[in-house]
Amino acid sequence: MERLLQYVFDGLSLGSIYALLALGLVVVFRGTGHLNFAQGEMAMICTFFTWQFHAWGLPLVVSVLLGMVAGFVLGAGVEVSLIRRVAKKSEAGVFVVSIAMFLGFNSLAGMIWGNLPPEEMPSLFPDEPDDFVKIFGAVWRYEYIGIMIVALLLMGLLFLLFAKTKFGLAMRAVASNPESARLVGIPTGVVLAASWGIAAAMGALSGAMVGGLAGELTSLLMFTPFIYASASATLGGFDSPGGAVIAGLLIGVGEQLAAGYAPGWIGQELRLGVALVTIFVVLLFKPSGLFGSTKVERV
Amino acid sequence: MVKVNQGSPQHWALRTLGVALIALVVVWVPTQMSTSRIGQFSDAFVLIIAAMSLNLVLGFTGQISIGHSAFFGIGGYTAAILIKDHGWSPGYTFYAAAVIAFVVGCLIALPALRIKGIYLALVTLAVAVLFPTLVKWKKLAWLTDGAKGIDSVRYDEIPVWPILGELKGRDGRAVFAYWLAFVLLVITYLVCRGLVKSRFGRSLVAIRDNETAAAVMGVNLTVTKVLVFGASAALCALAGVLSTLRTGVITPEGQYVTLLGSIVFLLIMVVGGAGTLWGPIVGGLVYVWLDNTTRGFGSESDGVIGFLFGWSDQSPATLILGLALVIIMFAAPYGLVGLIKRLWAKVVIVVPKPAGTSLPTTGH
């Protein structure tokens, strides 16, 4: 019982990071209909920005906020300067450009920060060995609790943004029909740039939390979380923000349970495999994810 | 500007000239160049074969796959295991690898029947990430040797080929690997050409351009998609076998076995020209040249390159690849082959035969 509770709790905490990143993918997909393959690498570069601000002497919380601002500028800038222009030429081109950004950002981070000794990344939350409470016998580390609260808070804010504000309405309008949205006077360009910016800023936040968990920064920081996030977005359905969050948490809990209860077979190495096989099976039966809407095409 | 009729003696002369030029280069490389240079060309040939296989699925059929590194790995591991543990003669491993990869490719294509675009990209992404993880899995270590991979895969006797004579030593092996890769490249090219120009190939392009219309016209979507995925996987596995035979090593983190491999194949195909037969060939040669040239850039370089990249100890090779990819997408959306065709059209125009004229006339 304690073990089960422990796995579920750890899973929910990790899952909330996946959910945050997955939400970024979904925001971009709903806005522009593209998969941003470089989402993880953009988050990674923003985490290095955060680290740099902190190294210059700013308090960590301020650095993280500045990192998120840098993420917003980076995301919006990429959309305006590259994605928008290439999308006019070809749809597949956007995918190719995002792969190019994946390579470019990864290499750039290595070139700028890679030669320093491994960066120590401080955690946003208390992370000394004895920073935990025991609830029903399970260890609840403050860091994990903090991550979960921040992630849930941000997701709550996002849902308010989508559902209650004029900007959110504009975003939904652009997502459902860009042509008509433009006709009724919505500045589609601004909305699209902002979606990319928001997604990248969320990436920056999850990057700071992943970096704090890992304790050090490398250019590979966000690769595995990105794979988990894309698995979550796929499982939940790429056009469903709620689905992405639920799927992220499910994958987090599922992999902890699988790794914990079958250490001989699955263990730590095959945790990722469990997530990937799950989406493979789900897609066989529900091709647009658990909560995604089926696309109906007019012939 | 010159106009040449298709099939006229002038057209044939141009074609012969082209083939002769290529043949000259192909023979010149292993006879005149250094062993390391020959190795780079063999590497390029391996990558070209892989990119050609990807081109069948992505370029011609329009199904995004970033999972081809797994098929490459399947080929590589099949060869290594069969040669080292079971004492197979290397030649037969090509057949075994192709059959295994064909079956796996068909299985992976099954969800591809129902899912499209972004979801398919992510399923194949999952395959690419899953393969190295599975290979490293401790329950499979008896087969794959886990994380350290399989090394010193050796074939003892190099067959004596008629014209090349006896090849000996390290240099001889490099030349042998070069010719082996070249022969396989030609075979792969001919297979792709045969597929694409056939009825099957037309249905691939029809699926790419409009799936619904293709189905209405009588293309069997299920069979076509599964078969093309299988065939593509089999061809990619051949590249994997070749790579293992050439280097004698395969590891789960090997260059083209991880997701990075899939990205490299995609890059080669896009840079050369997706959906063209010559695209992967041009792209592969350009990629290997660019990679080998830019790898050395860094703090030791001088001049413009030193100014641009001298501030970092790490090689900017990957960054430059990324930039090149973006530039290509903007400047030449149809790849280098598209660009060359456009420029060539300003010099020589090949006028196609009017339709129907080559039919035998029936007497009246």
> Along the 299 residues of chain A, how does pLDDT read in single tens digits?
778 888 888 889 889 999 989 988 988 888 777 888 899 999 999 999 998 898 888 888 899 999 999 999 999 999 999 888 888 877 778 888 999 999 999 989 888 887 665 667 777 777 777 777 777 777 778 888 888 888 888 888 888 888 888 888 888 888 778 888 889 888 888 988 999 999 999 999 999 988 888 878 888 888 889 989 988 988 888 888 888 889 999 999 988 888 888 777 776 777 788 888 877 788 778 777 777 777 665 65
Q: Residue B147 in contact with residue B133, Cβ under 8 Å?
A: no
The length of chain A is: 299
pLDDT of residue B238: 95
**Dist CA A58 CA B116 (whole Å):** 46
State CA B104 to chain mean position distance.
Answer: 19
Give me Rg for the CA atoms of chain B. Answer: 22
Averaged pLDDT, B232-258: 90
Averaged pLDDT, B93-106: 93
Q: Residue A241 in contact with residue A162, Cβ under 8 Å?
A: yes
User: Would you call B217 an interface residue with chain A, using a CB distance cutoff of 8 Å?
Assistant: no
**Dist CA B120 CA B62 (whole Å):** 11
Q: Residue B220 in contact with residue B81, Cβ under 8 Å?
A: no
Q: Residue B151 in contact with residue B249, Cβ under 8 Å?
A: yes
Distance from CA of B118 to the nearest CA of A (A): 7
CB pairs A-B closer than 8 Å: 127
pLDDT of residue A181: 87
User: Would you call B134 an interface residue with chain A, using a CB distance cutoff of 8 Å?
Assistant: yes
Q: Which residue has the tokens 């030193």?
A: B306
**Sequence-ordered list of residues with C-beta below 8 angstroms from that of B77, at least 6 positions apart, any chain:** B135, B144, B150, B240, B244, B250
**Dist CA B312 CA A244 (whole Å):** 39
User: Would you call B31 an interface residue with chain A, using a CB distance cutoff of 8 Å?
Assistant: no
| Max intra-chain CA distance, chain A | 62
DSSP H stretches of helix in B252-351? 259-272, 279-294, 303-309, 317-331, 335-344
**Dist CA A149 CA A16 (whole Å):** 9
Q: Which residue has the tokens 């083209």?
A: B256
**Sequence-ordered list of residues with C-beta below 8 angstroms from that of B112, at least 6 positions apart, any chain:** B63, B120, B123, B225, B229
Q: Residue A110 in contact with residue B314, Cβ under 8 Å?
A: yes
Residues 63-122 (B) with a CB less than 8 A from some CB of A: 64, 110-111, 114-116, 118-119, 121-122
DSSP H stretches of helix in B137-220? 141-144, 169-196, 199-209, 211-216
**Dist CA A250 CA A124 (whole Å):** 25
- Mark yes or no for CB contact B123/A102 under 8 Å: no
- Split at pLDDT 50, 70, 90, the class of B44 is very high
Helix (H, G, I), strand (E, B) or coil at A215: coil
Q: How wide is the angle at C-alpha B210 spanned by C-alphas B205 and B214, nearest 5°?
A: 75
**Dist CA B173 CA B24 (whole Å):** 21
Domain residue spans in chain A?
A: 2-223
Annotate A86-140 with three-state secondary structure. HHHHCHHHHHHHHHHHHHHHHHHHHHHHCCCCCEECCCCCCCCCCCEEEECCEEE
Long-range contacts formed by B96-101: CB under 8 A, 24+ apart: B97/B234, B97/B237, B97/B238, B97/B240, B97/B241, B98/B234, B98/B235, B98/B237, B98/B238, B99/B234, B100/B74, B100/B237, B101/B71, B101/B74, B101/B75, B101/B233, B101/B234, B101/B236, B101/B237
User: Would you call A106 an interface residue with chain B, using a CB distance cutoff of 8 Å?
Assistant: yes
- The predicted-structure confidence for B306-329, as pLDDT tens digits, reads as follows 777 767 777 888 888 899 899 988
Which domains, and CATH codes, for chain B? Answer: 2-6+35-351 (1.10.3470)
pLDDT of residue B190: 94
Please report, as a single letter, which amino acid is at residue A20.
L
DSSP H stretches of helix in chain A? 2-32, 39-55, 60-78, 84-89, 91-113, 142-164, 166-176, 178-183, 188-214, 223-236, 241-261, 271-285
Q: A288 - beta bridge partners?
A: none
Residue in A111, A230, A277 closest to B319 by CB: A111
- Mark yes or no for CB contact A100/B316 under 8 Å: no
pLDDT of residue B363: 47
Q: Considering chain B, what percentage of its residues have pLDDT values greater than 70?
A: 89
Exposed, middle or buried by CB within 10 Å (0-12, 13-18, 19+), for A264?
A: exposed
pLDDT of residue A75: 94
Q: Which residue of A has its CA nearest to B127?
A: A276
Of B38, B26, B40, B50, the residue nearest B268 (C-alpha)? B50
In this predicted model, which residue has the larger pLDDT, B156 or A154? A154
**Dist CA B11 CA B350 (whole Å):** 8
- Mark yes or no for CB contact A234/B263 under 8 Å: no
Residues 167-226 (A) with a CB less than 8 A from some CB of B: none
| B197 backbone dihedrals φ, ψ, rounded to 5° | -85, 0
Q: A139 - beta bridge partners?
A: A134
Measured CA distances, B277 to A83, B5, B186 (Å):
28, 22, 12
Q: Which residue of B has its CA nearest to A25?
A: B118
- Split at pLDDT 50, 70, 90, the class of B167 is low
Q: Residue B250 in contact with residue B149, Cβ under 8 Å?
A: yes
Averaged pLDDT, B56-66: 88
How do beta strands B2-5 and B348-351 pair?
Answer: parallel
pLDDT of residue A134: 76
Residue in B119, B129, B267 closest to A276 by CB: B129
Measured CA distances, B181 to A129, B49, B348 (Å):
56, 9, 33
pLDDT of residue A69: 95
> What number of helices (H) and strands (E) belong to chain B?
15, 2
As a whole number, the mean pLDDT across chain B is: 85
- Mark yes or no for CB contact A103/B322 under 8 Å: yes
Of A43, A217, A185, the residue nearest A120 (C-alpha)? A217
- Mark yes or no for CB contact B129/A283 under 8 Å: no
Q: Which residue has the tokens 């599975």?
A: B134
